[in-house]
Structure 1
Amino acid sequence: MDYMLGVDIGTTSTKSVLYDMKGQVVAYANAGYKLYQDIPDMAEEDPDDILDAVVEVMGQVIRKAKAQASEIKGVSFSSAMHSLILMDKNDQPLTRAITWADNRAAKYSDELKSNGLGAEIYAKTGTPIHPMAPLSKILWLRHERPDLFKQTKKFIDLKTYVFFKLFGVYKMEYSIASATGMFNIFKLDWEPQALELLQITREQLPELVEPTAAITGLKNQYSDILGISSKTPFIFGASDGVLSNLGVNAIDPGVVAVTIGTSGAVRVVVDKPVVDPDGKLFCYALTKDKWVVGGPVNNGGIVFRWVKDQLFAPERITAEQMQVSTYDILTQIAEKIPAGSDGLLFHPYLGGERAPIWDAYARGSYFGLTRKHTRAHMVRAALEGIVYNLYVVMLTIEKITGKPKRIQATGGFARSSLWRQMLADIFEQPVTIPESFESSCLGAAVLGMYALGYVDDLSAVKSMIGVTNVHQPNPNNFEVYRELLPIWIRLSEILEPEYKEIAEFQKKHSN
Structure 2
Amino acid sequence: MDYWIGIDMGTTATKAVLYTGSGAIVATQSIAYTLYRDPSGMAEEAPEDIFDAVVATIRAVSEKLTAADKLCAIGFSAQQHSLIATTSDFNPLTRVITWADTRANAAATALRNADQGHNIFMRTGTPIQPMSPLSKLHWLKHDQPDLFQAADHFMDIKTYVFHRLFGVYKLDLSLASATGLYHLEKQQWDQDILDLLGLSLDQLPEIVSPYAFESGLSLADAQMMHIPPETPFVWGAADGPMSNLGVAAIQPGIAALTIGTSGAIRVMTNQPIVDEKMRTFTYALDETHWVVGGATNSGASVLAWLKEKIFDDRITLDTMTQMAASISAGSGGLIFHPYLGGERAPIWDATARGSFFGLGYEHGQAEMTRAVLEGISYNIHAIAVALEEVVGELKHIQATGGFTNSEIWLQILADIFDMPIHIPDSQEAGCLAAVILSQKALGVMASFDEVTQLVTTRAVYTPLTEHLSTYRELEALYTDLLTHYQTTYGKLSEFKRR
CA distance in 2: counterparts of 1:382 and 1:53, whole angstroms = 32
Which string of whole-angstrom CA distances, capped at 9 and with x for unpartnered residues, describes residues 46-95 of structure 1?
Answer: 001100000000100111x2344861100000000000000101220000
CA distance in 2, matches of 1:68, 1:264: 41
Indicate whether 1:87 and 2:86 are aligned: yes
Structure 1 counterpart of 2:330: 340
Deviations 1:176-228 (A, max 9, x none): 00110000111110011211111101110000001111111223221111121
Aligned pairs, number: 498
State the one-letter code of the partner of 1:43.
A
Alignment of 1:461 onto 2:451: yes
Residue equivalent to 1:47 = 47
Q: Which moved further from structure 2: 9-18 or 403-412? A: 403-412
Letter in 1 for 2:399: A
Structure 2 counterpart of 1:227, which letter?
H
Whether the 8 Å contact between 2:8 and 2:14 is mirrored in structure 1 is: yes
- Aligned mates of 1:392, 1:39 — CA distance in 2: 28
SS at match of 1:501: helix
Distance in 2 between residues matched to 1:68 and 1:170, nearest whole Å: 33
1:404 aligns with one of 364, 378, 394 = 394
2-structure distance, mates of 1:485, 1:38: 33
Residue pairs, 1:143-222, within 5 angstroms? 143-222=142-221
Q: 2:157 & 2:258 partners in 1: Cα distance?
A: 22
Asked if the contact 1:212–1:236 (Cα under 8 Å) also holds between the matched residues in 2, the reply is yes
Whole-Å separation in 2 of the counterparts to 1:459 and 1:166: 33
Supply the AA of the counterpart residue of 1:233: P
Deviation at 1:120, TM superposition (A): 1.1
Residue in structure 2 matched with residue 323 of structure 1 by the alignment: none
- Deviation readout 1:280-319 (Å, 9 max, x if unpaired): 1110001111100000000100001011112221xx42x5
Task: Give the CA deviation at 1:460.
Answer: 2.0
In structure 1, what is the Cα distance between the partners aligned to 2:67 and 2:119? Answer: 52
Q: Distance in 2 between matches of 1:339 and 1:219?
A: 58
Deviation string, structure 1 residues 371-426 (Cα, Å, up to 9, x no partner): 22222111100010000000000000000111112211111101110011111100
- CA separation in 1, counterparts of 2:228 and 2:340? 46
Residues 1:355 and 2:354 aligned together: no
Task: Tell me the equivalent position of 1:137.
Answer: 136
In structure 2, how many angstroms separate the alpha carbons of the residues matched to 1:269 and 1:26? 29
Is structure 2 residue 117 aligned with structure 1 residue 127? no
| Letter in structure 1 aligned against 2:82 | S
Counterpart residue number, 2:274: 275
- 1:69 and 1:51 mapped to 2: Cα distance? 28
Structure 2 SS opposite 1:497: coil
Structure-2 separation of matches of 1:134 and 1:69: 44
- Please name the residue that 1:23 is paired with: 23
Deviation at 1:477, TM superposition (A): 0.9
Q: Is the 8 A contact 1:70 1:229 kept in 2?
A: no
Classify the secondary structure of the residue corresponding to 2:227.
Answer: coil
- In structure 2, the partner of 1:365 is 355
Amino acid at match of 2:29: A
**Residues 135-155 of structure 1: CA deviation (Å, up to 9, x unaligned):** 010111111111111111111
Aligned partners of 1:410 and 1:144: how far apart in 2? 38
1:230-272 CA-to-partner distances (Å, cap 9, x unmatched) read: 2111110001111111111101111101111110001000110
Q: Distance in 1 between matches of 2:216 and 2:23?
A: 26
Q: 2: CA distance between counterparts of 1:130 and 1:67?
A: 48
Change (3 A) 1:70 1:153: farther
Rounded to whole Å, the distance in 2 between the matches of 1:422 and 1:249 is: 23
Structure 2: distance between partners of 1:67 and 1:353: 47
Inter-partner Cα distance in structure 1 for 2:143 and 2:361 = 48
| Aligned 1:243-254 pairs, distance under 5 A | 243-254=242-253
* Alignment match, 1:447: 437
Counterparts of 1:69 and 1:62, CA distance in 2 = 13
Counterparts of 2:139 and 2:219 in 1: how far apart (Å)?
A: 38
Amino acid at match of 2:363: H
Alpha-carbon distance in 1 for matches of 2:416, 2:219: 53
CA contact (8 A) 1:40 1:507 kept: no
Tell whether the 8 Å contact from 2:254 to 2:398 is kept in structure 1 after alignment.
yes
Please give the alpha-carbon distance, in whole angstroms, between the structure 2 residues aligned to 1:113 and 1:183: 16
Work out the CA distance in 2 between the residues paired with 1:167 and 1:180.
Answer: 23
Change (3 A) 1:38 1:344: closer
C-alpha contact 1:69 1:229 (8 A) present in aligned 2? no
Partner of 2:491: 501
Which sits farther off after the overlay, 498-507 or 86-95? 498-507
> How many Å separate the matches in 1 of 2:65 and 2:286?
33
Give the corresponding residue for 1:474.
464
What is the rounded CA distance, in whole Å, between the counterparts of 2:453 and 2:66 in structure 1? Answer: 24
Give the conservation status (yes or no) of the 8 Å contact 2:422–2:457: no
Mind listing any 5+ residue stretches in structure 2 that lack a counterpart? none
CA contact (8 A) 1:68 1:228 kept: no
Q: Which residue of 2 aligns with 1:291?
A: 290
Query: 1:467 offset after TM fit, Å?
Result: 3.6
Q: Letter of the aligned partner of 1:173 in structure 2? A: D
- Give RMSD over aligned pairs: 1.1
Kindly indicate whether the alpha-carbon contact (under 8 Å) linking 1:103 and 1:131 is maintained by their aligned counterparts in 2. yes
In 2, distance between residues paired with 1:357 and 1:32?
30
Q: Secondary structure at the match of 2:171?
A: strand
Correspondence for 1:428: 418
1:505, distance to aligned residue in structure 2 (A): 1.9
> Could you tell me which amino acid in structure 2 is paired with residue 215 of structure 1?
E
- Measure the CA separation in 1 of the matches of 2:448 and 2:67: 27
- Percent of residue pairs bearing the same amino acid type: 47
Q: Secondary structure of the residue that 2:488 maps to in structure 1?
A: helix
Whole-angstrom CA distance in 1 between matches of 2:149 and 2:310? 47
CA contact (8 A) 1:272 1:291 kept: yes
Distance, in Å, in 2 between the alignment partners of 1:49 and 1:498 is: 39
SS in 2 for 1:121: helix
User: Residue 256 of structure 1 contacts residue 407 of structure 1 at CA under 8 Å; is this kept in 2?
Assistant: yes
Tell me if structure 2 keeps the 8 A contact 1:83–1:97: yes
Quick one: distance in 2 between partners of 1:258 and 1:22? Answer: 24
Question: Partner residue of 1:224?
Answer: 223
The one-letter amino acid of 1:97's match is: V
* Bigger shift: residues 191-200 or 79-88: 191-200
Partner of 1:456, secondary structure, is: coil
Q: Is the 8 A contact 2:3 2:69 kept in 1?
A: no
